[in-house]
Amino acid sequence: MTSALGDTLSSERLEAHTAAILRAACVRADELAGAAAPPVKNAHDGTTTSPSPARTRFAQQAVADAQLVCDELDPLSSSERLQHPSWARLVTWSLLDACWATCSSNTPVFRPFHPPEAKSRLYVDVERLSAPERCVVVAMCALGVRSTDELDVLGMAGLDGSAHDASAPAAGYDEEAPRTPRRSLAVQRELVARALRTLMLDLYDRLEVAHGEGDEEALKATAVCGAMMMCASLRSQLVPFLALLG
């Protein structure tokens, strides 16, 4: 997943991408700091109140990530950040944030993951998830790539935002100079989202999510994967008609 976002970027976009991931980690820590506090004991009846266990662990990890940014990641170069053991998780968390920020995450197939405990588990246990949950997370990341307007997170800030392929020469183009095709924002988004959808299907098949007796987790993952592929198919069929309208 990290390679799909990082390895093909120019040095400027790679720096913007890594800086955006670090900023996202700090913002997340600020938003969740209250949930990371120890349980509060009620002076009247002695009971304690605290968020769900996964939510608490999520918040505590978010706060720890902000400290990690200050102590270790911020001083590193952009290419060195990509090699850090926590980098893949930080990128995944940012794409999950992007998924939840879009209205598409409110479709019925994603609703089982809306409760705070279920949502927090996808973050905090991302490296220990079951096979079906791993498929769901990759699907959510693909949705985040397609939907987010935080282009620095994707390393795509500055790309041509027009609906057309941006490979045409610009004004003042030197006909004698070697021509380097430029990808539009829409094309680059689709390439990364397609890579994630391919990974999703590969995991679904290789981890045998649909094999054996169907359970609730497998059914949820199957619904999510099916919805993602159906939307991708409809989008590809609509593109020629939308181009005519444009």
21-79 pLDDT tens trace = 999 999 999 999 988 876 666 666 666 665 688 999 999 999 999 999 999 999 999 99
The residue among 131, 118, 151, 142 whose CA lies nearest residue 232 is: 142
Q: Quick one: average pLDDT of 177-184?
A: 53
Instruction: Please report, rounded to a whole number, the percentage of residues in the chain having pLDDT higher than 90.
Output: 59
Question: What CA–CA distance (Å, rounded) separates 133 from 23?
Answer: 27
In a domain, 148, yes or no: yes
CA dihedral 91, 144, 59, 49 (to 10 degrees): -160
In a domain, 171, yes or no: no
In a domain, 186, yes or no: yes
Element housing 80 (H / E): helix 78-82
* This prediction's pTM: 0.82
- Which residues, 6+ apart, have CB-to-CB distance to 222 below 8 Å? 132, 204, 209, 210
- Which residues, 6+ apart, have CB-to-CB distance to 111 below 8 Å? none
In a domain, 14, yes or no: yes
**What is the structure's pLDDT at 126?**
95
Question: What CA–CA distance (Å, rounded) separates 111 from 93?
Answer: 19
In a domain, 172, yes or no: no
Give the model confidence (pLDDT) of 114-172 as tens digits.
999 999 999 999 999 999 999 999 999 999 999 898 999 998 988 876 544 444 444 44
* Predicted confidence (pLDDT) at residue 9 exceeds the cutoff of 70: yes
In a domain, 140, yes or no: yes
Count the alpha carbons within 13 Å of 59 in the hemisphere toward its beta carbon. Answer: 19
Residue type, 7: D
Q: Which two tokens stand for residue 28?
A: 């997340």
Residue 229 structural domain: 2-38+47-165+181-245
* Predicted confidence (pLDDT) at residue 91 exceeds the cutoff of 90: yes
**What is the structure's pLDDT at 114?**
96
In a domain, 112, yes or no: yes
Number of domains in the chain: 1
Give the residues across from 41 on adjacent strands.
Answer: 48
**What is the structure's pLDDT at 36?**
81
**What is the structure's pLDDT at 73?**
97
**What is the structure's pLDDT at 172?**
44
In a domain, 173, yes or no: no
Cβ(153)–Cβ(20) under 8 Å? yes
Q: What is the mean pLDDT of the chain?
A: 83
* Predicted confidence (pLDDT) at residue 173 exceeds the cutoff of 70: no
Find the length of the chain: 246
